[in-house]
Amino acid sequence: MSTVIRMIVTRIALGVGLLFIVSLVIFWATELLPGDLATQLLGQAATPETVAALRAQLGLNDPAPVRYWAWLTGALTGDFGVSLANNRPIAELIGARLGNTVFLALYAAAMSVPIALTLGILSALWRNSPFDRVANAGALSAISFPEFFVAYILVLWLAQTGIFPSMVRITPSTDFGDRVYMTFLPALTLTLVVTAHMMRMTRAAIINLMASPYIEMARLKGLSPLRIVLRHALPNALAPIINVIALNLAYLITGVVVVEVVFVYPGLGQLMVDAVSNRDIAVVQAVALIFAAAYVGLNLIADVLSTITNPRLMHRR
């Protein structure tokens, strides 16, 4: 047991180290942008005096390491500074939107993970049957269409008929039921996009094990095919499945920009896009750091889960 705790602690330490490196990269990348932030903000017409004043106000005259340290310590306490575009605290801008993004991601995950697992298990069970072929073909078509295309098709089909709203107007006061209803279309779009990957990995991981001697043994014990897949193959296929689910969850948090734009969903992706077009570097940095943390965190959880589902790692000789 203690080995597992030690493993988890090591992984967390590694994750923190990794995030630290990512924060350096994020900070450095914005340093590399051409020109000076103050000039960029004020435009070509600004007088040298106003530029100098803004530089002083933004603290741009300090050396880079000092500014990095100030930024990092601020970020750690939840203070990402103020937006360069509208002077509002970034933490406030991000707060509600982060909640929205996480809600949408969990919503899509709650639909896609059970569907993907069920379809993956069934298509492994009925390998090469019509069901398997249809499920695979369907999943592959869903993944092959660009997200915005899927989104517009759904809008055309389900929103034009008035069943679901095509735009998501939610505020912090919207209650849960309305939220679920209004967010259905973006969640469905994301589900269609991520299900295929998880389903095919589940199918492949299970089929890969079906030739194992212990599966033959299970068949020779007279067990039913479903029991063989669920009890004998699936537990041994969990590690790859968990990892691909984590990867897709991370995508649901960080990669949903297009879907958010199509449905005008007030999430982090939209904020990031707006910030980029406004050259609001401080917001871009903050959102990038949050995305990185989501990636690292989810992969960390996946690592830990794959370890504790593997008896060979949990119970040493």
Least gap, CB of 120 to other proteins (angstroms): 18
- Continuous segment of H or E residues that includes residue 89: none
CB of 235 to other proteins, least distance (A): 4
Task: Report in angstroms how near the CB of residue 142 gets to other proteins at its nearest.
Answer: 31
The answer to whether residue 218 forms part of the interface with other proteins (CB under 8 A) is yes
All residues at 6 or more sequence positions from 67 whose CB lies less than 8 Å from its CB, including other chains: 59, 60
The reply on whether position 4 binds other proteins by CB under 8 A is no
Long-range contact pairs involving 75-83 (C-beta distance under 8 Å, separation at least 24): 75/23, 75/286, 75/289, 80/282, 80/283, 80/285, 80/286, 81/282, 81/286, 82/282, 83/275, 83/280, 83/282, 83/283
Task: Please count the residues of this chain forming the interface with other proteins, following the rule CB under 8 A.
Answer: 24
What sign for the dihedral angle of Cα 40, 42, 45, 50? negative
Find the binder of other proteins among 150, 220, 230, 304 (CB under 8 A).
Answer: 220
Among 49, 76, 175, 315, binds other proteins (CB under 8 A): 315
Contacts of other proteins in 222-251 (CB under 8 A): 222-224, 227, 231-232, 235-236
Q: Does 312 contact other proteins by CB under 8 A? A: yes
- Which of the stretches 34-42, 66-74, 112-120, 207-215 binds other proteins when contact is defined by CB under 8 A? 207-215
DSSP H helical segments within 33-165, as ranges? 37-42, 48-58, 64-76, 90-125, 130-144, 147-154
CB of 2 to other proteins, least distance (A): 17
Structure tokens at 150: 């899927």
Nearer to other proteins, 56 or 226 (CB): 226
DSSP-assigned states of every residue in 114-135: HHHHHHHHHHHHTTTSHHHHHH
Identify which range of 59-67, 107-115, 274-282, 309-317 contacts other proteins by CB under 8 A. Answer: 309-317
Contacts of 138 (CB under 8 A, 6+ apart): none
Report how far residue 159's alpha carbon sits from residue 153's, in angstroms, rounded to the nearest whole number: 9
Exactly one of 24, 29, 153, 217 binds other proteins (CB under 8 A); that residue is 217
Q: Which of 4, 221, 226, 264 binds other proteins (CB under 8 A)?
A: 221
Binding site for other proteins (CB under 8 A): 211-214, 216-224, 227, 231-232, 235-236, 310-312, 315-317
